[in-house]
Structure 1
Amino acid sequence: MPRGQVLWLLCGAVALLGAPAPAAAAGQLAVAVADFDYSDTSGEEADQSAQHRDRMTIFAALLRDGLAQRDYRVVRPACPQPACTAISMAPDDLVAAARRDGARYLVYGGIRKMSTLVQWGEVQLFDVEREQLVMRRAVTFRGDTDTAFRRAADFVSETVKDAMAGR
């Protein structure tokens, strides 16, 4: 099976696994996880935009799944635009989308490929109810592989859980 098909199948499976059961969602703290932005400033000649789109889809799905495993009700903000990211939307619109979904917190951010070996990102956690930023964390990781993105998503998930637990 071609690599692209494997990525799409994996992405679909992860998204299905990360969906919380509706019956269990009633008393859970709701967290909206927006899609993450991505930019490649590495200057590499090969066009990897399709692979990066796939990895960012999987990254967000893994982040949602990681939070759902800790009894959070995870929602994906319903945005009027196809891309529901901090760059593609006005901040007030992104917060409003999270609020419409009943989320207490909003997680958003982006990743930038700086070189062949280094990815850099920023993750932010916004308290929708109090209207304040409660966490802003820089994240770096090595590699431009599925494994590197999976490990980064796991780390970000734990970081966000720790930040929410301390509130």
Structure 2
Amino acid sequence: MRYLLPALWLSLASPAWADGLVIAPVKLLDTSHEARDQQAEHLHRQDLLAQVLAEEMPGTLLTRDEVAEACPRETTDCLVTLLRDRGGDRGLFIVVQKASTLILQAFASEVDLKGGKLIAHKELNFRGDNDESWRRAGVFLARQLRD
């Protein structure tokens, strides 16, 4: 019982940064020129990173299908409108560039969806193209954005 009360308090306490965040699907720019087709693995890790961010921030995560249906050309205006229409005050856009199996860089931009202003931009280098490195990158990136 003594553990229940702090957990209840934490669930009731909603930090200001947690309200109204909508997270766009993670995009990947693969410039590694690796010969093996890794499309399925890449999609899995993009989803993994987005899920970690949605849990850590927390926020509402949009799917690739939702974006493709509403914004087939993925223009900035359409994406911002879509996130705002999904109830967002703030939107999070993430692009990961894969330079090689060992070197990846994430670019995250948090945007005020009503005013169209950049709230925060973070860049993160991380090593290793595997689930654990992408998961850790998501946790670290969420911490950086919250702080």
Q: Which TM bucket (shorter chain)?
A: 0.7 to 0.9
Seq. identity, %: 27
Q: Does 1:49 align with 2:34?
A: no
Where structure 2 has 5 or more consecutive residues not aligned to the other structure, the ranges are: 1-10
Per the normalisation by structure 1, the TM-score is 0.70
Q: Give 2:144's aligned amino acid.
A: T
Q: What is the match of residue 131 of structure 2?
A: 146
Question: 1:102 offset after TM fit, Å?
Answer: 2.0
Per the normalisation by structure 2, the TM-score is 0.79
Aligned-partner Cα distance in 2 for 1:108–1:80: 12
Aligned-partner Cα distance in 2 for 1:77–1:116: 27
Q: Which runs of structure 2 are paired with 1:91-130 in the superposition (5 Å)? A: 91-130=76-115
Question: 1:83 offset after TM fit, Å?
Answer: 9.0
Max Rg structure: 2
- String of CA shifts for 1:29-69, please: whole Å, max 9, x gaps: 1100000101221122211111111011111011101112x
Q: What is the match of residue 3 of structure 1?
A: none
Q: Secondary structure at the match of 1:47?
A: coil
Question: 1:76 offset after TM fit, Å?
Answer: 2.8
Q: Does 1:81 align with 2:71?
A: no
Q: What is the match of residue 11 of structure 1?
A: none
Q: Does 1:90 align with 2:80?
A: no
- String of CA shifts for 1:119-166, please: whole Å, max 9, x gaps: 01210000112220111221110001111000001011112212xxxx
Question: 1:110 offset after TM fit, Å?
Answer: 0.7
Would you say the 8 A contact 1:77–1:84 is kept in 2?
no
Aligned-partner Cα distance in 1 for 2:68–2:33: 29
Where structure 1 has 5 or more consecutive residues not aligned to the other structure, the ranges are: 1-20, 69-73, 163-167
Q: Does 1:32 align with 2:17?
A: no
Q: What is the match of residue 64 of structure 1?
A: 54
Tell me which moved more, 58-67 or 43-52. 43-52
Question: 1:84 offset after TM fit, Å?
Answer: 7.1
Tell me which moved more, 114-123 or 75-84. 75-84
Number of residues paired by the alignment?
133
Q: Give 2:110's aligned amino acid.
A: L
**4+ long deviations beyond 2 Å:** 76-80, 82-85
